[in-house]
Amino acid sequence: MTMDLTPIPSQTAGPYLHLGLTDKWSLSRVAGDGTKGQRVWLTFRVLDGEGMPVPDAMIELWQADSEGNYPHPDGSADSTAFLGFGRLATAEDGSCTFETIRPGRVPGPGGTVQSPHINVSILGRGILKRLSTRLYFTGEPANAADPVLALVPEVRRATLLAVPDPARPGHWTFDAHLRGKRETVFFDV
């Protein structure tokens, strides 16, 4: 008998994802104490097609360390304090805040080097399969030559840029508009 090796379908995480995923197992600190690099606080806001906050979503992050190494089992990230992974449920105002370090640059296709970025998943009620996007940093000179940003229509690139908070150094905000005029760019991965 030949086995069916087609991947199984995705389904929504539903409104009660907290029960299994974030009540006990959320992770707001992507980089623990002693991790090398510039410490940053990233506040995400998830908004729906009418601009209303999405209070029951979950955000997951995956990023390289400050030297551009992913803490993958086959990788070479140098610190066990650095998980590179975080996940949080959004609050009633659609927001959640991670503490991490600014990632380094990692290789891109064809000998290119990618600009510092954080890989972002959004899951939750009304989201039938994982939404994938990326966070880049406003003002980063390497953005101009980033091979992934180059795939995005120029008028929409700004949706991927976190904005620094002028009042609080190290704090950045990223609005994820799931739908509508200001819709964030999502990737087919």
Partner 1 sequence: MIQTKRNNPTETIAGFRRHEPGTQPDYLYPAYRGTRLRAPSQPLVFLPHTISEVTGPVFGHSEIRQEDHDLTIQHPGVPLGERIIVSGRVLDGDGHAVSNSLIEIWQANAAGRYAHSKDDHPAPLDPNFTGAGRTLTDKDGFYSFVTVKPGAYPWRNHDNAWRPAHIHFSLFGPAFVTRLITQMYFPGDPLFAYDPIMQSIPDEKARQRLISKFDLETTKPDWALGYRFDIVLRGRESTPFER
**Cβ-based nearer residue to partner 1, 3 or 144:** 3
**Cβ-based nearer residue to partner 1, 40 or 57:** 57
**Cβ-based nearer residue to partner 1, 110 or 166:** 110
Q: How far is the CB of 43 from partner 1 (least distance, A)?
A: 20
Distance CA 68, CA 105 (A): 5
Q: How far is the CB of 49 from partner 1 (least distance, A)?
A: 4
Q: How far is the CB of 169 from partner 1 (least distance, A)?
A: 27
| DSSP annotation of 184 | P
**Cβ-based nearer residue to partner 1, 86 or 172:** 86
**Cβ-based nearer residue to partner 1, 35 or 69:** 69
What DSSP string describes 35-84? --S-EEEEEEEEE-TTS-B-TTEEEEEE---TTS----TTS----TTB--
Q: How far is the CB of 124 from partner 1 (least distance, A)?
A: 8
Q: How far is the CB of 42 from partner 1 (least distance, A)?
A: 16
